[in-house]
C-alpha cells in the first residue's frame, strides 16, 4: 500500500508512549509516511514516542513524519533512531503563517539521507508562523553525497528553509517579528556536504528580516564533507547559509570604546559555543574568510586541557580528569587544547562505540589499557571510517593509537555499503601501535586507506610494527 500509516485531516491527533516502527524489512519500496498531518485546523500532540524502522540498512522513500502547511504541532520527549531515507528528510515540518509548532527535547540519532537532499529534519518556515525548537539533540546524523564527492548545500542535522508569505516584508507587511527560536540545542558528529550540521536557505531578503535565532546552542565534531573532493568550496563545519553576500546580514562590527577593539554582534546568535575547527560558519560564494563569522559560535569557550580521560562509566558533563572522566572519545578530542604541544587521550578498559573521529590541526595520542581491554568501533556512522584525516588536516597534524582493538560492525551483510574501513586519510603523520584490527566486516572498502600521491610519501618512515589483522573479512 502507498497509504500513510496515520493520517489526520483537520483533526486532532494525540500519541503518547508509543514505539512507531515502519516494516521495511522486505525488498520493496515504502512510499508512505508513518504519520501525515494535513489541514489548517489540524492539531497534533506527540509525547514520549520513538520512531524507528525494522531494517536500518534499507531505504525509506517518503518522510517518516510529515506536517502539512497550516497544521499545529507539539512534539516532546521523543526520539528518532537509525532511519535511512533515500532522498527525503525523516521529519518534514511546514510552518505556515498561522501555525504554532513546539519541538522540545527530541533526540535524533544515527539517521541518514543517502542522496544529500536535506538534513534529517527539514523545517519549511513561512514568515509569521511561531516555531520553537528547544533542548533537542542531533547526534551522528549523515546527509553527505556518497564517497564525499558532492558540494550540495545540505547539513546532516537540520535544514531551515525560509519561505515567503503575505506576512513577509517583501509583501509590504509591517507585522512584528515572529522568530524561529532554536535554543539549548546540541549538535554532535553530524556530517553533510557544504554544511556539517545546519543549513539555512531561502532568499536574501527573507534572511534580512532576521527571524531566526540560535540561543545557547552547542556544536561539537561536525564535519562538512565537501572538503574531501572540493577543498576550495566555501563550507561551514557547523552552519552553512545558502545565500550570497550574507555577512552584512549575519553580523555587524563595531569598535569598543573601552578597549579600542572590534566587537562582533549578531541578532541571529546568542551565547552559542562550538568546539569544532574553522570554518565554523560560512555562506555561499564567500571569498572573505570566516574569522569574524566564527566568532559568533565562540562564546565563553573554556580553557581546555592537554590530557583527558575517557571511561565507559564517565559522563561528557564531567571535567575529563582521571577522577571525573568523559564518556566519549570524540568529546575528549573536541575539547583538547589547540596549542601546538602534544595532547593525550587516555581510554580506560571497555568497548567504546564512537562516531567518525576527525583529525585536523592537532597532535594527539589515543592510548588504551591494552589490546585486550580497550576496544573502539564505529556503528554510529558506520558508512564512514573510525579515523578521518583528509585535506582539512594541518600539515603538522599527528595521531597515534596505542594498545587498542579497532573493529567495525561484525553483523555486516554482503553488499552492505554501511561498513567502511577503519582509517581513511590523505596527509597526516602518526601510526597504530600495539593494536589489533579485529572481527571486522568490510564492504567495498579498504581497512586502511591512504589517499596520497607518490610525492607525498616519505618511504623511509614506513616501518613494520607487527600489526595484527584478526578475523577481518572483505566482501
Q: pLDDT of 31-72, one tens digit each?
A: 889 999 999 899 999 999 999 998 887 889 999 999 999 899
Do residues 200 and 157 make contact, with C-beta atoms less than 8 angstroms apart? no
What is the arrangement of strands in the sheet containing 12-16, beginning at the earlier edge strand?
12-16, 43-47, 72-76, 100-104, 130-134, 180-183, 212-215, 269-270
Task: Give the pLDDT of residue 411.
Answer: 65
On whether residue 78 sits in a domain, the answer given is yes
Q: Answer yes or no: do 177 and 208 share one domain.
A: yes
Do residues 142 and 191 make contact, with C-beta atoms less than 8 angstroms apart? yes
Nearest Cα to Cα of residue 1 among 38, 33, 37, 36: 33
Q: Answer yes or no: do 119 and 179 share one domain.
A: yes
Q: Answer yes or no: do 189 and 75 share one domain.
A: yes
On whether residue 1 sits in a domain, the answer given is no
Q: Greater confidence, 118 or 58?
A: 118
On whether residue 311 sits in a domain, the answer given is yes
Q: How confident is the model at residue 123 (pLDDT cuts 50, 70, 90)?
A: very high
On whether residue 270 sits in a domain, the answer given is yes
Task: Give the pLDDT of residue 158.
Answer: 98
Mean predicted confidence (pLDDT) in 192-198: 96
Nearest Cα to Cα of residue 424 among 362, 370, 375, 356: 356
On whether residue 363 sits in a domain, the answer given is yes
pLDDT at 107 over 90: yes
pLDDT digits (tens, 9 = 90+) for 133-176: 999 999 999 998 887 888 999 999 999 999 988 776 655 455 55
User: At a CB cut-off of 8 Å and minimum separation 6, what does 462 contact?
Assistant: none
Q: Answer yes or no: do 314 and 286 share one domain.
A: no
On whether residue 61 sits in a domain, the answer given is yes
How would DSSP label each residue in 382-413? TTS-SEEE-TTS-TT-EEEEES-EEE--TT--
Task: Give the pLDDT of residue 109.
Answer: 96
Q: Of the residues 297, 329, 357, which one is the last residue of a structural domain? A: 297
Q: Answer yes or no: do 273 and 369 share one domain.
A: no
Q: How confident is the model at residue 177 (pLDDT cuts 50, 70, 90)?
A: low
Q: Greater confidence, 158 or 416?
A: 158
Q: Of the residues 262, 279, 297, which one is the last residue of a structural domain? A: 297
Mean predicted confidence (pLDDT) in 368-394: 80
Q: Answer yes or no: do 330 and 285 share one domain.
A: no
Q: Among the ranges 241-250, 262-271, 367-376, 428-437, which has the highest mean pLDDT value?
A: 241-250
Task: Give the pLDDT of residue 303.
Answer: 60
On whether residue 302 sits in a domain, the answer given is no
Nearest Cα to Cα of residue 68 among 151, 2, 8: 8
Q: Answer yes or no: do 277 and 311 share one domain.
A: no
Task: Give the pLDDT of residue 229.
Answer: 81
pLDDT at 234 over 90: yes
pLDDT at 279 over 50: yes
Q: Answer yes or no: do 142 and 287 share one domain.
A: yes
Q: What percent of the chain has pLDDT over 90?
A: 55
Q: Answer yes or no: do 246 and 321 share one domain.
A: no
Task: Give the pLDDT of residue 331.
Answer: 92
Q: Answer yes or no: do 259 and 408 share one domain.
A: no
Q: Greater confidence, 447 or 190?
A: 190
Q: Answer yes or no: do 198 and 137 share one domain.
A: yes
Q: Of the residues 297, 326, 361, which one is the last residue of a structural domain? A: 297
Task: Give the pLDDT of residue 390.
Answer: 73
Structural domains counted in the chain: 2
pLDDT digits (tens, 9 = 90+) for 298-329: 987 666 789 999 999 999 999 999 999 999 99
On whether residue 409 sits in a domain, the answer given is yes
Q: Answer yes or no: do 432 and 321 share one domain.
A: yes
Provide the domain limits for residue 357. Answer: 307-474
Nearest Cα to Cα of residue 352 among 400, 423, 412, 405: 405
Amino acid at each position: 500500500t502507498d497509504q500513510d500509516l496515520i493520517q489526520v485531516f483537520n483533526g486532532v491527533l494525540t500519541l503518547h508512549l508509543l514505539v512507531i516502527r515502519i516494516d521495511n524489512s522486505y525488498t520493496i519500496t515504502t512510499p508512505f509516511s508513518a504519520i501525515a498531518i494535513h489541514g489548517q485546523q489540524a492539531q497534533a500532540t506527540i509525547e514520549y514516542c520513538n520512531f524507528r524502522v525494522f531494517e536500518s540498512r534499507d531505504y525509506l522513500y517518503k518522510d517518516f513524519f510529515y506536517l502539512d502547511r497550516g497544521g499545529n504541532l507539539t512534539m516532546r520527549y521523543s526520539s528518532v533512531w537509525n532511519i535511512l531515507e533515500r532522498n527525503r528528510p525523516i521529519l518534514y515540518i511546514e510552518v505556515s503563517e498561522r501555525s504554532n509548532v513546539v519541538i522540545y527535547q527530541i533526540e535524533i540519532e544515527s539517521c541518514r539521507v543517502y542522496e544529500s537532499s536535506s538534513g534529517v529534519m527539514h523545517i519549511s518556515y513561512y514568515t509569521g508562523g511561531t516555531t520553537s525548537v528547544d533542548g533537542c539533540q542531533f547526534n551522528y546524523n549523515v546527509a553527505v553525497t556518497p564517497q564525499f564527492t558532492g558540494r550540495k548545500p545540505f547539513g546532516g542535522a537540520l535544514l531551515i528553509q525560509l519561505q515567503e508569505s503575505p506576512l513577509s516584508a517583501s509583501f509590504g507587511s509591517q507585522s512584528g517579528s515572529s522568530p524561529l527560536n532554536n535554543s539549548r540545542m546540541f549538535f554532535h558528529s553530524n556530517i553533510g556536504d557544504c554544511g556539517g550540521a545546519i543549513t539555512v536557505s531561502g532568499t536574501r531578503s527573507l534572511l534580512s528580516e532576521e527571524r531566526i535565532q540560535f540561543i545557547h546552542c552547542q556544536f561539537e565534531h561536525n564535519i562538512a564533507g565537501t572538503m574531501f573532493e572540493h577543498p576550495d568550496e566555501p563550507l561551514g563545519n557547523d552552519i552553512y547559509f545558502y545565500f550570497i553576500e550574507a555577512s552584512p546580514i549575519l553580523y555587524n562590527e563595531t569598535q569598543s570604546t573601552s578597549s579600542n577593539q572590534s566587537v562582533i554582534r549578531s541578532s541571529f546568535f546568542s551565547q552559542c559555543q562550538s568546539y569544532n575547527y574553522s570554518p565554523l560558519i560560512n555562506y555561499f560564494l564567500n571569498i572573505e574568510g570566516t574569522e569574524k563569522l566564527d566568532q559568533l559560535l565562540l562564546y565563553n569557550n573554556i580553557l581546555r586541557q592537554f590530557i583527558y580521560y575517557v571511561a565507559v562509566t564517565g559522563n561528557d558533563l564531567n571535567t575529563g580528569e582521571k577522577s571525573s572522566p568523559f564518556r566519549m572519545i570524540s568529546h575528549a578530542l573536541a575539547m583538547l587544547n589547540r596549542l601546538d604541544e602534544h595532547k593525550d587521550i587516555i581510554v580506560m578498559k571497555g568497548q567504546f562505540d564512537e562516531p567518525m573521529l576527525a583529525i585536523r590541526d592537532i597532535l594527539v595520542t589515543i592510548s588504551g589499557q591494552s589490546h585486550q581491554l580497550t576496544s573502539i568501533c564505529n556503528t554510529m556512522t558506520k558508512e564512514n571510517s573510525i579515523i578521518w584525516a583528509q585535506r582539512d588536516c594541518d600539515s603538522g597534524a599527528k595521531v597515534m593509537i596505542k594498545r587498542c582493538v579497532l573493529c567495525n560492525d561484525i553483523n555486516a551483510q554482503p553488499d552492505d555499503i554501511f561498513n567502511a574501513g577503519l582509517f581513511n586519510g590523505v596527509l597526516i603523520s602518526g601510526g597504530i601501535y600495539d593494536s589489533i584490527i579485529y572481527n571486522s566486516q568490510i564492504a567495498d572498502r579498504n581497512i586502511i586507506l591512504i589517499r596520497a600521491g607518490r610525492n607525498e610519501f616519505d618511504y623511509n618512515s614506513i616501518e613494520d610494527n607487527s600489526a595484527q589483522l584478526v578475523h577481518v573479512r572483505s566482501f
